[in-house]
Amino acid sequence: MFLRKILLLLVLLSSLSIQAGGGKLIDFLINDSGVAEMLTKNGIDAVAIPRVKRYVRNSLVALNFKNKAPTKREIQNILKNLGGSSKDIKVRKSLEVLLDKPADKVKKADVVNAINSLIYLANRHGNRGSTVLACAQCVSDVLSKNGFKFTLEEINNTSAKKVLDKILPRKPRELTNFINTKMSKNKFGDLSRVDPRMLRPEEERSLGLFLGLSEAGSKKQRELIDAIREYSTDANGTTQLIDSRNPHTFWKLFSEDMDDDVLEGWTKIIKEASAEASEKTDKQDAFYAALKKRAGDDPYMNEQLEFLKKKNCFFK
């Protein structure tokens, strides 16, 4: 038994050695140990590696139809057959080139760009409904510092999972139609009047989740959605959820799990901001004014407030 274990170990080590010497980037990204090796080799901060490994695995599983990570050949075929928008196709082709690059020729930028592209495509075309994309800068400074743009986490909230798994269409074009229909039905405004830069393709799933929760969410979720609706309504009573004049992204809050206490906290803050805005023209200033009232003279709270302003996570 001992000799068999030693023999198996030698075979595995030999396989890894061959892969390291002559493999391509794709050979490393299809398994956790390979991802960690490639990230470490290219100087990615160690503290970021466990998260990035999780995002890569979530992306691979999302793109597969078997609820498990695909093999090398399977992911190559999956990518080859992806369609979508012109941006989707451009991202896919760029990713295919990077994945085919010899591992010993790969640079840090190649690894980061490949993972960003993989997450983007999984969010747009993935079959795993309960995963949703978020902005890396707002999740982790370490991720952002290393060049990562997106995260892809699995949502555990029951209502959100129901929307993601059962209600939201999986195909990008059908998702766009869903969004347009729900925006109109629930009087959240007219997307045809919106600058395309205000809603990027990779953000559509988060918006779809928000709109789905406006009908199927819990009481606390719908209370927060009502507060966001109020914040999105101007002095004339016109509601425009996506609006360059009031460029908030509070509808993206549901891209991460929130318990009832957090939901209630956000509802109160956004309601306070709406009240502040009744005497102001700039809703963004009103939001930060409401936070400033809560911070008072507390040095730590004010430091966190300045940090929020600098990251600008809730506005475009």
CB-based contact 89:120 (threshold 8 Å): no
* 66 pLDDT tier (thresholds 50, 70, 90): confident
Q: What pLDDT, in 10s, does the model give residues 180-222?
A: 999 999 999 999 888 888 999 999 999 999 999 999 999 999 9
Going by C-alpha positions, the residue among 247, 199, 252 that lies closest to residue 225 is 252
Mean pLDDT of the chain: 87
* 229 pLDDT tier (thresholds 50, 70, 90): very high
Average pLDDT rounded to a whole number, residues 254-261: 92
Q: Is the pLDDT of residue 2 over 50?
A: no
| CA 96 centroid distance within chain | 21
Average pLDDT rounded to a whole number, residues 147-152: 88
CB-based contact 39:103 (threshold 8 Å): no
Q: What is the pTM of this model?
A: 0.82
| Identity at 153, one-letter amino acid code | E
Residue 47: CB partners within 8 Å, gap ≥ 6? 142
Task: Give residue limits of the domains in the chain.
Answer: 22-154, 158-311
CB-based contact 199:205 (threshold 8 Å): no
* 1 pLDDT tier (thresholds 50, 70, 90): very low
CB-based contact 133:152 (threshold 8 Å): yes
